[in-house]
Structure 1
Amino acid sequence: MAISLGLFSSLLSPRETSTLTFTKPSPSSSALRMVRTVTSSTVSHSGPSKIRGIMKPRKVSPEMAALVGAHEISRTQVLKLIWAYIKDNNLQDPEDKRTINCDEKLKKVFQGKDRVGMLEVARLISPHFLKSES
């Protein structure tokens, strides 16, 4: 025996409906089983979405471009490329992996510092993203 309740249907959008089904437990199981069925879970978009925030490619300074190899790149990609560079060149401190020993390329990006903590990286790359003229 199954009982269907449209309990949450008022909370969902008109295109998305939900049904909760409660089934009577079999003699071998003592638990009540709940099944959620979604009949339409996708909503069509009218057009392509705009890329915003840290995912949007921005122009970078010449020092940053020399390090990452691109003149326009997103913040997330810059962080990935910097960490790849650090690991490829073995620039992490062996005793404290959270500390980066900067070489000449990284010193240009990290304000001339010899050693940088991993939590400082995001703050130190911010000035290298140039303001867009919109």
Structure 2
Amino acid sequence: MTAKTEKKPAEKKVAEKTTAEKKPAGKKVDAPAKGAKPNALQQPLQPSPELAEVVGEGKLARGEVVSKVWEYIKANKLQNPKDGREILADDKLKKIFGKDSVTMFEMNKHIAQHLK
């Protein structure tokens, strides 16, 4: 006669992750490999003299230029209070935009014309 052995169900162990083991909050971007050419958005570009009055002298990546223009807009309160998408140009921005106001969607088109 054979003896029946009862198997106990295996207890599931739940591994709790500590906060240090969890996913990092921000997305980490790897630096380009040595000798690799940066993509179009990361290439440093020279701003025109008109744009340099707003963002400063020296070469900057396109994303940095847009960020600095937004800093200037917010610091000088140049957004339309009724419609935050509209930018009311002061004298410096009129030289870049060519008109009194632009939408934030048009802004990038005008900035691109002032980058080499």
Displacement, 1:123? 0.6
Query: Any residues of structure 2 matched to 1:86-125 within 5 Å, and which?
Result: 86-110=73-97, 112-125=98-111
Please give the root-mean-square deviation of Cα atoms over the aligned residues, in Å. Answer: 2.2
Equivalent AA in structure 2 for residue 65 of structure 1: A
User: Are 1:66 and 2:53 an aligned pair?
Assistant: yes
Structure with max Cα Rg: 2
Equivalent AA in structure 2 for residue 47 of structure 1: K
For 1:127, the equivalent position in structure 2 comes to 113
Query: Any residues of structure 2 matched to 1:49-88 within 5 Å, and which?
Result: 49-88=36-75
Aligned length: 89
Q: Which consecutive unaligned segments of at least 5 residues does structure 2 have? A: 1-11, 14-31
Q: Which consecutive unaligned segments of at least 5 residues does structure 1 have? A: 1-24, 27-44
For 1:37, the equivalent position in structure 2 comes to none
Q: TM-score, normalised by structure 2?
A: 0.68
In structure 1, C-alpha distance between the alignment counterparts of 2:50 and 2:58, rounded to whole Å: 10
In structure 1, C-alpha distance between the alignment counterparts of 2:99 and 2:58, rounded to whole Å: 23
Equivalent AA in structure 2 for residue 92 of structure 1: Q
Give the percent of matched residue pairs that are identical in Structure 1 and Structure 2.
Answer: 40
Moved over 6 A (4+): none
Q: Give the SS at the match of 1:50.
A: coil
Q: Give the SS at the match of 2:84.
A: coil
In structure 2, C-alpha distance between the alignment counterparts of 1:97 and 1:46, rounded to whole Å: 40
Q: Give the SS at the match of 2:71.
A: helix
Higher strand share: 1
In structure 1, C-alpha distance between the alignment counterparts of 2:100 and 2:33, rounded to whole Å: 50
In structure 2, C-alpha distance between the alignment counterparts of 1:100 and 1:84, rounded to whole Å: 12
Displacement, 1:126? 1.1
Q: Give the SS at the match of 1:100.
A: strand
In structure 1, C-alpha distance between the alignment counterparts of 2:41 and 2:110, rounded to whole Å: 15
